[in-house]
Amino acid sequence: MTGNRQTSWAFADAFVAEDDAVRWARDRAREAGLRSVSPGAGAALRLLAATVGAKAVAEIGTGTGVSGIHLLHGMRPDGVLTTVDPEPEQQQFARQAFRAAGFASNRARFIPGRALDVLPRLADSGYDLVFCDGDRMESLDYLAESLRLLRPGGVVCFEGVFADGRTVDSGPQPVEVVRVRELLRAVRESPELVPSLLPVGDGLLCAVKR
């Protein structure tokens, strides 16, 4: 990558300023050894939530609340974020971050548990956007659940599909990277989806359900 392109990428990543609540949540994630969405990916999620006028969003992977704050900022004022994570301790940080960002407690529904145990309990066609930032090994299962959960015109997003550059590396890769490649192929070839791969953060795969 050329220096100019790196500079442009950094400029795009910092284009939308993040507030104190997001920075606090980032610090908590860093302390816990967790990876958060980049500012650019967060801004893209905010934009997509606003574009579809999202009232109901499902998030796989609460973390400490970085992506959730971006999603809530883009959603309608009466929208509710349903966020799932197997680590309730991290969800407590997210609760604090959402409160610090000015969101009422009824704007988010926290469900502790494994995503593939929780998602089947959520309503068919009941969501405007599904954001997936969970176990890469389960990506294809998340896609299947997302297609069920989304209304027509809804959006599904997957974070981290570049896998630090390993997805496009021609050398042998671990199984989780192979799964990401399978996900990319499935989304690109699905007749139910209109896809795009956004070069923000570590790669944001997005698709609209027809």
Position 1 scores a pLDDT of 57
Contact 158, 195 (CB under 8 A): no
Q: Which long-range contacts (CB under 8 A, 24 or more apart) does 104-111 make?
A: 106/80, 107/72, 107/79, 107/80, 107/81, 108/68, 108/72, 108/80, 108/81, 108/82, 108/83, 109/80, 109/81, 109/82, 109/83, 110/62, 110/83, 110/85, 111/82, 111/83, 111/84
- Pair of tokens at residue 140: 């294809």
* Average pLDDT, integer, range 34-49: 96
pLDDT tens string 2-24: 668 888 878 888 898 899 999 99
Contact 142, 158 (CB under 8 A): yes
Residue 126's Cβ-count burial label (10 Å; 0-12, 13-18, 19+) is middle
pTM for the structure as a whole: 0.96
Euclidean distance between CA atoms 119 and 142, whole angstroms: 9
Position 2 scores a pLDDT of 63
Count the neighbouring beta carbons within 10 Å of the beta carbon of residue 144: 13
**What is the full DSSP assignment across 94-139?**
HHHHHHHTT--GGGEEEEES-HHHHGGGSPTT-EEEEEE-S-GGGH
Euclidean distance between CA atoms 33 and 191, whole angstroms: 38
pLDDT tens string 47-104: 999 999 999 999 999 999 999 999 999 999 999 999 999 999 999 999 999 999 999 9
pLDDT tens string 174-203: 999 999 999 999 999 999 999 999 999 999
Position 13 scores a pLDDT of 82
Euclidean distance between CA atoms 37 and 52, whole angstroms: 20
pLDDT tens string 118-164: 999 999 999 999 999 999 999 999 999 999 999 999 999 999 999 99
